[in-house]
Structure 1
Amino acid sequence: MPAGAGRPRGEQEVKHAVLEAASALFAEKGPSATSLREIAQAAGVNHGLIHRHFGSKQRLVRAVHDHLAARLASTEPFREASVPAALDAFHALEGNRTYWMVLTRAMLDGELADVLGSDLAGGHRMVETLRDALGDEAPVDASDLMAMAFAFSFGWLLLRDFIQAATGAGDDVPEQWFAAMATLLERQGRPAH
């Protein structure tokens, strides 16, 4: 907590401070390597308040993920199944790096099952939206196409520095990838919008 800043007061302020502090620490170190006392100190609250408002650490991990997923969902990036909308969505996701770091660290810590519930509905909705846009005779299955998009997005969002150092790639890789996807869809007889 910054020096001179007032301590959070009231249930909502305390919960918000804890969620923000835990989000930053989980993204940096992962849930397993972060203690509740560290989170309390970073949030500027008494350690007991975490237990009062969140209960167990497992419930806090889930609450942090839900908090970050809700923040991401509020950007409403996936408004239609088109390549331009997908690129806009990717850039919205890129601005939420903390979310991806927490999700990845939860997976590495073996806690992914505890946090997935808040995300699966959105992923399923994206597949169904794409399936409707591609139609019944699509040569590429919507779930396979979405899996490729997720794989590209996660890889770029989490490993961009390594990928650029290893390959010399520029910052326009996402635009090139989405353009290639548009070309693939057009060649298969489907408009990329």
Structure 2
Amino acid sequence: MTNESTAREQILTAATELFHERSPAAVSLREIARRAGVNYGLIHHYFKTKEAVLAEVFRTSALHGGRLLADAEDTATALARLGRDPRAYARMLAWAVLDSDTSKVFADQSPAIHAITELVGREWNAGLSPDRTRDRHDPRVVAATSVLAVLGWSVFAPYVFPAAGLGDRDPDDVQAEVLELLQSMIAATGPIAVHGRTEHRDRD
């Protein structure tokens, strides 16, 4: 007999796979039940609607991303882990973004962005020196931009490679270069220290 926790896990695993393969809007609850190997009625019992299944898939994927980055020692490691995440979160997110009916379910704060924000702040604080001449940006914006670039690369790399004439490059080497560029951005947007005081960009 399948217990409740196992059934829920099977449903969420099947839903994650299907949402990655196709737009969530194109996936039915009956398909999820077949892929999960559970009775169709169990989905209604545990989740009621497909939107609730999708919301739980994104919630658990976001928590997984947060755990994945929780013990990263620096932003380079965190972004590299995010780019190698085998759960195909980026593609699933892209499908949902394109579907206005499902895009609202992942509006909650991302643990992954929060983790990278913490790392950005830590690295900026450790890197203060009197000869820095760059403006400071909001670390949340820098973290969000970095995550967007990594996830976007995961989705669009197959299209970017031929468009940019990168067919002669190893994809892993190119991804490493992308991460290096992001590290340069993170360093370049850090705080400035002038005569012992930290200055910030003026904001309206």
Q: Give me the TM-score of the superposition, normalised by structure 2.
A: 0.73
Correspondence for 2:199: none
The answer on 1:173 being equivalent to 2:162 is: no
Q: Cα–Cα, structure 1 residues 175 and 9, in superposed 2: closer, same or farther, change >3 Å?
A: same
Correspondence for 1:116: 107
Per-residue deviation at 1:74?
2.3
Q: Which amino acid aligns with 1:115?
A: F
Structure number with bigger Rg = 2
Q: Which amino acid aligns with 2:85?
A: G
Correspondence for 2:91: 101
> Paired residues, what number?
178
More off after superposition, 34-43 vs 71-80: 71-80
Identity of aligned residues (%): 25
Correspondence for 1:25: 18
Q: Cα–Cα, structure 1 residues 187 and 24, in superposed 2: closer, same or farther, change >3 Å?
A: closer
Correspondence for 2:202: none
The answer on 1:139 being equivalent to 2:135 is: yes
String of CA shifts for 1:88-118, please: whole Å, max 9, x gaps. Answer: 222322223521122211111122221221x
Work out which of the residue numbers 69, 78, 94 in structure 2 matches 1:89. 78
Correspondence for 2:147: 150
Q: Secondary structure at the match of 1:45?
A: coil
- How many angstroms apart in 1 are the aligned matches of 2:189 and 2:113? 26
The answer on 1:62 being equivalent to 2:62 is: no
- How many angstroms apart in 2 are the aligned matches of 1:124 and 1:42? 33
Q: Cα–Cα, structure 1 residues 176 and 32, in superposed 2: closer, same or farther, change >3 Å?
A: same
- How many angstroms apart in 2 are the aligned matches of 1:71 and 1:188? 28
More off after superposition, 127-136 vs 25-34: 127-136
- How many angstroms apart in 2 are the aligned matches of 1:78 and 1:139? 28
Query: Which runs of no fewer than 5 residues in structure 1 stay unpaired?
Result: 1-7
String of CA shifts for 1:31-74, please: whole Å, max 9, x gaps. Answer: 11000000001101111100001111111110111122222222
Residues 23 and 96 in structure 2, CA contact (< 8 A), matched pair in contact too:
yes
Work out which of the residue numbers 52, 75, 80 in structure 1 matches 2:45. 52
**Aligned-residue RMSD, C-alpha:** 2.9
Q: Secondary structure at the match of 1:26?
A: helix
Work out which of the residue numbers 2, 7, 22 in structure 2 matches 1:14. 7
Correspondence for 1:3: none
The answer on 1:162 being equivalent to 2:163 is: no
Residues 18 and 50 in structure 1, CA contact (< 8 A), matched pair in contact too:
yes
More off after superposition, 160-169 vs 36-45: 160-169
- How many angstroms apart in 2 are the aligned matches of 1:161 and 1:70? 27
Per-residue deviation at 1:187?
10
Q: Secondary structure at the match of 1:9?
A: coil
Q: Secondary structure at the match of 2:72?
A: coil
